Every structure is written in structure tokens, then in C-alpha cells.
């Protein structure tokens, strides 16, 4: 056993102790997590970080609502309501809702870059608030259902679900119709920021075709709050800016850009949200059968288009890439790409990102698919239960792995929270409990860091990060309480 394995084992044992700790220690962790959310609360929503991210982010707010429901169901409802007040007429939910009291130079791209009220007019951007023009993963129906379950009486008295359901339905319609760029039923992302795992090596190949914006065209505010070695490179950031600029200049019309990718995590969250919308429909007195059926069709499309049986993994599909052997996924280990025999669907991106494990949250995955994902998760690429403290964001054996650089290796609380739910859903309760313990121990050790070294658990990025605190609050609940009433509450 090497020193890294010994350190990781010791860290996991400390984390297990945190879960089994006396109620006084658990109460202290709960109090600290609640204090982070209180500090980051603006009066209408929660910022991810007071320094690095001073506005409201879409999927951050969904995870914040999931956690804050345990301390204030009312605030959790307000979190989602504030976000959906900024929804565009075409149904999209913007990835940032800007706080007008924050100086323009505090974050880039700022409202004057996106120009939502003018460039987004044809797509129905709101006039009363400034937003970005791109989206983030659709976790919101899951969050709305869990928030309702936390206090059904309050939810019903405020007509929370009745008011948010039409907005959630419009959001899903936008993704299922405007964003089905591949014609196979799945939603596509048109910018790496939309998928949420901004700097993942999964984007390197499709991004390589994008001419970066010149450095003089933007100023990186993120480098004022984070170490440059932990953040995206200037070259990648220039490509992000180019894609966003072109989308804005095209009046936010979908399907015209050079970047279009079907992502397994984004679509898995959409499918899980369809199941949640079915539950919400039933709560409101309507039939949820059609939504459950749609979720099943989307699950079948996900397996058909993004699952690779030769590797046991879901991969991203590059809709603008060439359909040739260069894009055939690598088999486990360091073998050359498989090109003989049954080939993978054209333009699959041969990178093992944590996004490919997130479909474990789906209740009706075929058994052989679930078994394959569990093998990959436990294997050398992700080290679940063996070599790491938390599941990394990218392949531990991959050439682009970096334990500290943004989404190129570090472990994140939200993706591990989703994997913990998936493990429990598929009966892997002991492994889920170990991961839960590691998450809580890491949250305590790092003061709710934005992300961590997967081996050591050392915190990186911002501290007092909102979703890290919120998901710790959720994990502090006993699994029976968190899962009461079904897969998603």
C-alpha cells in the first residue's frame, strides 16, 4: 500500500467518524453549514460565493434549495421563485441572474457583455432584470419537488407547485424542442458553461475548432480570487468568450454555433427532472403518466446515443465533429482506440469525465448499463471506494488529469452528491454510506470548499461555497428521511 492510499484511507476513516459523531458535533456541522447559506443570502437568492461569484447561478440555486429546505423551506421556495422570475419567453432559464447592485467589474462576463434585454429580445428576455443568455443543467424540477416535500403544508398554502409547474414545463419544452440539435431526442449544450463542468477535458476536442477571442477583448475577474494554476487557461477562456459572443451576436438563436454537444449528465438531470415533474403533476391533480413515459423515452435515447458497451461508460457526443475512428472511445487502461468490430456511435468524445457516471441517478437504466458504470466508477479511472476520498471530475489515469485545475480532476460536492444518490438508488447502500461520510468529513475539514483534491481532500477555490454547505445539510439527514416517498423524495 503506497502513501497516497494510506492517506486516503485515513481521511475516509475520519470522515466516517464525522457521520457517526455524537449529535453535538453533527449539530455544530449543521450550524456552520446554515451560517454559510445565511451569509450568502441576498434577501431574494443565494450567491455561490461572495467574492468569486456575486450573482445568482441557475443550477447552484437548485442545489442550494435542496439543502436549505432543511433549515427554511420558505427560503428554499423563494430561491427557486427568484430564479424563475428571470425566465425568458422561449422557456430558457438563464445561467446567471445579475444583481444590479454589484459593480460591473466584479465578474466577467458582466451584464453589458450579454446584453440580454436587447440581444435577447426576440427570444423573450425579461426587461426588468439582466441575465446571461445561456443555460445550465435542469436540476430545478428535482429541487422543486424536494422543497415541496420538506413542508407540504407551507407549499400548498403558498401555491408553490401550482405557480412553478408551468414555468418548469416551459423550461423542459425549450430543452426538448429548441435544443434537440442532433435530432435524436436529447438536449444539446452550445457552450461548455452550460453543462456546468466548464473546463472538463471532454470539451478539449470540440473547443479546438474554436478561434479564441483576442485577449484584449476581455478581462478575467476570476484570476483576482483564484490561483491561475487552478483556473482555465487564457486560451480556453478566449474560446469560451468567442462562443458566447457569437451566440449573443446571433440574437441567442439556437442551432447555428460551432459547438453543440450531447452530454450524459445534462440529459440525465433532464430525465430525472421529468420524473419529478410527473410527481408534481400528480400532486396538482393531473396525470403524470405522459411525463413518466417521456422520461423513459429519453432514457432509451440516452443509452442509444451516448452509451458505449465496449467501455461500460457514457460519453459526450460532438454533433459538429467528424464521424471517424479518431472519436472512438478508448477501452479501459491505456489501449489504443477500438476501431474493429462494433464501433461506437459517431463522434463520441473519448474522455472519461464524471458526467458519464451521473446517469446512475436514473431509476430505469438497464441492469447491464448500471453494472458497467459501477465497474468504471470502482476502477482505476475514478477510484470509488479505493484510491480517492471523493470521486474526481476526470479520469485519474487520463493525460489531462490535474487534481487542482478546475473540472480537470478535482472532486466536487454536487457531482458526488448525485453519485451518492445513484448508488443508494441501485442498492449499493454501504458504498453510498461511505461516500456520504467522506463528503461530510471533507465539508468540515475544508470549511465548505468549492472543490477539493480527490486524493487528499485539500480544499481548492472559494471557501464557504453555497452548494457545498447546502448539500452537507442534506447529507446530514438520515438516508431514510432524504429518500422518503420515492427516488427523489
- Identify which of 451, 428, 452, 405 has the alpha carbon closest to the alpha carbon of residue 357: 428
Cβ contact 149:70 at 8 Å: no
Q: Is 31 a catalytic residue?
A: no
Q: Give the active site residue among 38, 85, 180, 198.
A: 198
CA 66 from centroid of its chain's CA atoms: 13
Task: Check 81, 395, 450, 453 and give the catalytic one.
Answer: 450
What are the backbone dihedrals phi and psi of residue 220, each rounded to the nearest 5 degrees, phi first? -85, 100
Complete DSSP assignment for 136-181: ----HHHHHHHHHHH-HHHHHHTTHHHHHHHHHHHHHHIIIIIT-T
Q: How far apart are CA 54 and CA 52, in angstroms?
A: 6
Secondary element (H or E) of residue 261 = strand 261-262
- Strand, coil or helix: what is 268? helix
The phi and psi torsions of 318 (rounded to 5 degrees) equal -90, 105
Residue 108 and residue 219 in contact, taking contact as beta carbons nearer than 8 Å: yes
Task: Look up residue 197 and give its three cell numbers.
Answer: 463542468
- Residue 427 grid coordinates: 442498492
Q: Which residues contact 248 (CB under 8 A, 6 or more apart)?
A: 113, 114, 115, 119, 133
Closest CA to 397 of 346, 332, 343, 305: 332
Q: Is the omega angle on the peptide bond into residue 109 within 30 degrees of 0, that is, cis?
A: yes
Q: Which of 101, 97, 113 is nearest to 219 (CA)?
A: 113
> Which three-class secondary structure state does DSSP give residue 430?
helix
Q: Which residues contact 97 (CB under 8 A, 6 or more apart)?
A: 45, 55, 56, 58, 82, 83, 86, 129, 130, 131
Does 450 participate in catalysis according to the annotation? Answer: yes
The Cα 439–Cα 18 span in angstroms is 10
Longest dimension (CA), the chain: 61
- Beta-carbon contacts of 63 under 8 Å, excluding residues fewer than 6 positions away, are 139, 143, 414, 417, 466, 467, 470, 471
Helix and strand numbers (H, E) in the chain are 19, 10
Sign of CA dihedral 331, 337, 342, 347: positive
* Residue 293 grid coordinates: 413515459
CA angle (189 as vertex; 239, 254 as ends), nearest 5: 90
Which residues are catalytic, by number?
Answer: 198, 450
Amino acid at each position: 500500500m503506497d502513501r497516497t492510499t494510506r492517506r486516503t484511507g485515513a481521511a475516509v476513516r475520519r470522515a466516517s467518524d464525522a457521520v457517526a459523531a455524537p449529535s453535538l458535533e453533527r449539530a455544530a456541522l449543521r450550524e456552520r453549514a446554515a451560517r454559510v447559506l445565511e451569509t450568502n443570502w441576498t434577501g431574494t437568492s443565494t450567491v455561490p460565493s461572495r467574492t468569486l461569484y456575486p450573482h445568482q447561478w441557475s443550477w447552484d440555486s437548485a442545489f442550494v434549495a435542496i439543502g436549505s429546505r432543511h433549515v427554511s423551506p420558505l427560503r428554499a421556495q423563494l430561491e427557486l421563485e427568484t430564479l424563475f422570475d428571470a425566465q425568458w419567453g422561449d422557456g430558457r432559464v438563464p445561467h446567471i441572474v445579475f444583481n444590479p447592485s454589484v459593480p460591473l467589474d466584479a465578474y466577467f462576463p458582466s451584464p453589458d457583455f450579454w446584453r440580454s434585454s436587447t440581444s435577447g429580445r426576440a427570444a423573450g428576455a425579461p426587461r426588468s432584470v439582466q441575465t446571461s443568455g445561456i443555460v445550465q443543467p435542469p436540476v430545478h424540477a428535482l429541487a422543486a419537488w424536494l422543497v415541496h416535500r420538506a413542508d407540504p403544508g407551507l407549499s400548498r398554502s403558498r401555491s408553490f407547485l401550482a405557480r412553478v409547474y408551468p414555468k418548469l414545463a416551459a423550461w423542459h419544452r425549450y430543452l426538448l424542442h429548441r435544443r434537440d440539435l442532433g435530432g435524436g431526442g436529447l438536449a444539446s449544450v452550445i457552450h461548455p458553461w452550460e453543462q456546468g463542468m466548464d473546463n472538463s477535458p471532454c470539451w478539449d476536442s470540440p473547443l479546438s475548432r474554436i478561434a479564441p477571442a483576442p485577449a484584449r477583448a476581455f478581462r478575467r475577474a476570476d484570476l483576482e480570487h483564484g490561483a491561475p494554476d487552478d483556473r482555465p487557461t487564457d486560451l480556453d477562456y478566449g474560446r469560451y468568450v468567442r462562443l458566447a459572443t457569437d451566440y449573443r451576436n446571433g440574437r441567442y438563436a439556437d442551432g447555428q454555433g460551432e459547438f453543440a454537444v450531447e452530454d450524459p449528465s445534462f440529459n440525465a438531470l433532464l430525465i430525472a427532472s421529468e420524473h419529478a415533474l410527473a410527481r408534481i403533476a400528480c400532486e396538482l391533480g393531473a396525470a403524470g403518466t405522459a411525463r413518466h413515459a417521456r422520461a423513459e423515452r429519453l432514457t432509451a435515447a440516452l443509452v442509444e446515443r451516448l452509451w458505449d458497451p465496449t467501455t461500460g461508460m457514457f460519453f459526450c457526443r460532438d454533433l459538429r465533429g467528424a464521424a471517424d475512428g479518431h472519436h472512438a472511445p478508448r477501452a479501459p487502461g491505456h489501449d489504443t482506440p477500438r476501431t474493429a468490430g462494433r464501433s461506437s456511435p459517431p463522434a463520441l468524445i473519448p474522455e472519461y469525465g464524471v458526467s458519464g457516471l451521473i446517469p446512475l441517478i436514473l431509476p430505469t437504466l438497464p441492469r447491464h448499463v448500471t453494472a458497467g458504470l459501477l465497474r468504471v466508477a470502482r476502477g482505476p479511472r475514478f477510484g470509488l471506494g479505493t484510491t480517492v476520498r471523493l470521486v474526481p471530475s476526470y479520469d485519474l489515469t487520463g493525460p489531462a488529469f490535474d487534481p487542482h485545475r478546475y473540472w480537470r480532476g478535482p472532486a466536487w460536492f454536487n457531482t458526488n452528491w448525485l453519485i451518492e444518490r445513484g448508488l443508494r438508488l441501485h442498492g449499493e447502500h454501504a458504498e453510498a454510506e461511505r461516500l456520504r461520510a467522506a463528503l461530510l468529513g471533507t465539508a468540515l475539514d475544508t470549511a465548505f470548499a468549492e472543490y477539493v483534491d480527490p486524493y487528499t481532500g485539500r480544499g481548492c477555490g472559494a471557501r464557504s461555497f453555497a452548494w457545498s454547505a447546502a448539500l452537507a445539510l442534506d447529507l446530514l439527514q438520515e438516508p431514510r428521511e432524504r429518500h422518503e416517498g420515492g427516488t427523489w423524495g
